[in-house]
C-alpha cells in the first residue's frame, strides 16, 4: 500500500466525529432541555382535562340521584359540575396548557353536563309521574332543549375561530350560554323545592319553560360575558356585601337564591342588548375597553342634555319649607 492510498483510507469527511471525539456539550444540553419541556407540557395538559372529566362524572351522577328522587344531592352535584367547568378553562390558560384535544373534550362535556343532564333531571323529577300523553310531550320538549344546547355550543365554537370579529364581541355572548341555560331550566325544580307543588311544577309551565330556555340559548340575544369584567376599587365593599348575603342564602335558603339569580340574569338581558346595540353602531369605539365605552356613553348623554335633544331627569326634593325646617339665625354679639 502506497503512502497516497494510506492517506486516502484515513481521510474522513469534514465535521464527522470519530469514536474518540467527545460529544458537543451545547448540543446535548439543548436536546435534554427540549425533552424536559415536552414532558413538563404533557404533565400540564393532564390537569385541565382531569377537571373536565370530574365535571362530567359529577353531572352524570347528578342524573342518577335525580332518578332516585334525591333532589338536593343531584342539584349539588350539578352545581359542582358547573364550578369545575368554569375552572378547567382558567387553569388551562394559567398553566399555558391549552390544546385542541382539551377544547374538544370541554365542548363535548358541556353538551352532556348542561344539555342532557338538566333535561333528564327535569323529566325525572317533574314529568315522570304525569299521564302518558304529558310524559310523551315532556320528553319531546326535553329533546328540543338538548338539541338547542348542542346547536348553541356548535355556534360558539365557530365564533371562536372568527379572527375578523371586532374586539367588543368578547364582552358579549350570542344567546344564553350553556351553564346559565342549565340553571334556568332547573327553575321549576327550585320553585317546587322552595314553595311546594303548584302551577310552576305542572306539565304546562314546565314544557313552556323548556321551550323558552331553548329559544334563549339558540337566539342571537346578547348577554354579558363577565370574563372581561373588571372590578373598580370603590366597588369592592358593595360586592363583598352581596357575596356575604348570597352565602347566607346559600346555606339557609338555597333554592330562593337560585330563583333570585335566575330573575337577575333575565333582568340584565335588556341592558346587555342596549349596550351591544350602542357599541355596534359606533365602529370608532369597537377597540375600546368596556370602561372606556361606559364613560363615553355617559359623556354622550350629557352632551344630548346640553343640546336639548335629551330630557334631563331631575330628582324631586322636598324643600325646607315643606319639611318645616328653619335656617338658624345668627344672634348679634
* End-to-end CA gap in the chain: 135
The closest alpha carbon to 89, from 47, 132, 36, 61, belongs to 47
Residue, of 254 and 232, whose pLDDT is higher? 254
Helix, strand, coil abundance in the chain, percent, nearest 5: 75, 0, 25
Q: Quick one: pLDDT at residue 274?
A: 87
Q: Quick one: pLDDT at residue 327?
A: 57
What's the CATH number where 145 sits? 1.20.120.1760
In a domain, 256, yes or no: yes
Residue, of 163 and 110, whose pLDDT is higher? 110
Residue 5 has pLDDT above 80, yes or no: no
Residue 205 has pLDDT above 90, yes or no: yes
Name residues whose C-beta falls within 8 Å of residue 129's C-beta, 6 or more positions apart in sequence: none
The closest alpha carbon to 56, from 119, 110, 116, 97, belongs to 110
Tell me the mean pLDDT in the region 12-39: 51
In a domain, 105, yes or no: yes
Half-sphere exposure of 141 (CA within 13 A, CB side): 23
How does pLDDT run across 54-75, given as a tens digit for each residue?
Answer: 999 999 999 999 999 899 999 9
Residue, of 209 and 48, whose pLDDT is higher? 209
Residue 93 has pLDDT above 70, yes or no: yes
In a domain, 177, yes or no: yes
CB neighbours of residue 181 within 10 Å: 23
Q: Give residue 312's pLDDT band: very low, low, confident or very high (50, 70, 90).
A: low
In a domain, 156, yes or no: yes
How does pLDDT run across 136-184, given as a tens digit for each residue?
Answer: 999 999 999 999 999 999 888 887 766 676 766 777 888 899 999 999 9
| Mean pLDDT value across the chain | 79
How does pLDDT run across 226-240, given as a tens digit for each residue?
Answer: 776 677 777 788 888
Residue 325 has pLDDT above 90, yes or no: no
**DSSP annotation of 130:** S
List the domain range (segments joined by +) for residue 80: 44-222+247-282
Q: Please give the share of the chain, as a percent, with pLDDT higher than 70.
A: 71
In a domain, 204, yes or no: yes
In a domain, 36, yes or no: no
> What's the pTM value of the predicted model, to 2 decimals?
0.75
What is the distance between the alpha carbons of residues 192 and 211, in angstroms, rounded to a whole number? 19
In a domain, 58, yes or no: yes
In a domain, 101, yes or no: yes
Q: Quick one: pLDDT at residue 119?
A: 93
CA-to-CA dists, residue 150 to 110, 158, 188, 207, 213, angstroms? 9, 13, 22, 19, 13
Q: Quick one: pLDDT at residue 330?
A: 60
Q: Quick one: pLDDT at residue 130?
A: 84
C-alpha cell belonging to residue 133: 300523553
Which SS3 state, helix, strand or coil, does residue 98 take?
coil
When divided into structural domains, the chain yields a total of 1
Tell me the mean pLDDT in the region 99-128: 89
Q: Quick one: pLDDT at residue 331?
A: 59
Residue 7 has pLDDT above 50, yes or no: no
Q: Give residue 187's pLDDT band: very low, low, confident or very high (50, 70, 90).
A: very high
Lowest-confidence pick of 68-82, 112-126, 161-175, 201-215:
161-175
Amino acid at each position: 500500500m502506497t503512502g497516497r492510498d494510506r492517506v486516502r483510507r484515513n481521510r474522513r469527511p469534514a465535521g464527522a466525529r470519530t469514536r474518540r471525539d467527545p460529544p458537543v456539550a451545547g448540543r446535548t444540553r439543548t436536546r435534554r432541555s427540549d425533552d424536559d419541556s415536552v414532558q413538563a407540557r404533557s404533565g400540564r395538559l393532564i390537569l385541565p382535562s382531569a377537571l373536565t372529566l370530574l365535571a362530567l362524572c359529577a353531572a352524570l351522577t347528578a342524573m342518577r340521584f335525580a332518578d332516585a328522587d334525591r333532589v338536593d344531592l343531584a342539584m349539588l352535584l350539578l352545581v359542582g359540575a358547573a364550578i369545575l367547568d368554569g375552572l378547567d378553562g382558567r387553569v388551562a390558560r394559567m398553566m399555558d396548557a391549552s390544546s385542541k384535544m382539551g377544547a374538544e373534550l370541554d365542548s363535548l362535556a358541556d353538551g352532556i353536563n348542561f344539555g342532557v343532564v338538566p333535561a333528564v333531571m327535569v323529566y325525572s323529577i317533574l314529568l315522570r309521574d304525569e299521564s302518558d300523553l304529558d310524559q310523551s310531550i315532556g320528553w319531546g320538549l326535553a329533546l328540543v332543549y338538548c338539541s338547542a344546547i348542542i346547536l348553541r355550543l356548535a355556534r360558539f365554537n365557530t365564533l371562536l375561530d372568527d379572527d375578523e370579529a371586532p374586539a367588543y364581541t368578547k364582552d358579549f355572548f350570542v344567546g344564553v350560554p350553556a351553564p346559565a341555560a342549565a340553571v334556568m331550566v332547573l327553575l321549576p325544580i327550585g320553585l317546587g323545592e322552595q314553595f311546594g307543588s303548584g302551577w310552576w311544577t305542572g306539565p304546562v309551565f314546565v314544557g313552556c319553560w323548556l321551550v323558552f330556555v331553548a329559544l334563549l340559548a339558540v337566539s342571537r340575544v346578547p348577554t354579558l360575558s363577565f370574563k372581561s369584567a373588571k372590578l373598580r376599587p370603590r366597588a369592592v365593599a358593595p360586592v363583598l356585601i352581596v357575596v356575604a348575603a348570597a352565602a347566607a342564602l346559600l346555606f339557609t335558603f338555597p333554592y330562593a337564591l337560585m330563583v333570585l339569580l335566575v330573575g337577575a340574569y333575565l333582568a340584565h338581558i335588556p341592558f346587555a342588548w342596549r349596550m351591544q346595540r350602542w357599541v355596534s353602531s359606533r365602529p370608532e369605539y369597537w377597540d375600546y375597553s368596556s370602561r372606556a365605552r361606559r364613560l363615553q356613553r355617559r359623556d354622550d348623554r350629557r352632551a344630548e342634555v346640553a343640546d336639548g335633544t335629551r330630557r334631563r331627569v331631575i330628582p324631586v326634593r322636598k324643600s325646607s319649607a315643606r319639611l318645616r325646617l328653619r335656617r338658624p339665625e345668627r344672634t348679634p354679639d
